[in-house]
Amino acid sequence: MYDPAVGDPDAGIDPETAFEDIPDDWTCPICGLGKDVFVPVED
């Protein structure tokens, strides 16, 4: 689960970066899947 408050510092994604602003070639550091397989979740 991507948390915009945290970002993904290991991939150079700063905190407060919205998911839609992450580069399209980003992959999840845990599962290795690409951005295109993720879906939004309600809080």
Which pLDDT belongs to residue 13? 96
Q: What is the mean pLDDT of each run of 10 residues along the chain (43 residues)?
A: 92 95 93 92 76
Beta-carbon contacts of 2 under 8 Å, excluding residues fewer than 6 positions away, are: 8, 19, 22, 28, 38
Q: Any idea what the Cα angle at residue 20 is, between residues 15 and 23, rounded to 5°?
A: 80
pTM equals 0.76
Q: What is the structure's pLDDT at 43?
A: 67
Cβ pair 19, 26 in contact under 8 A: no
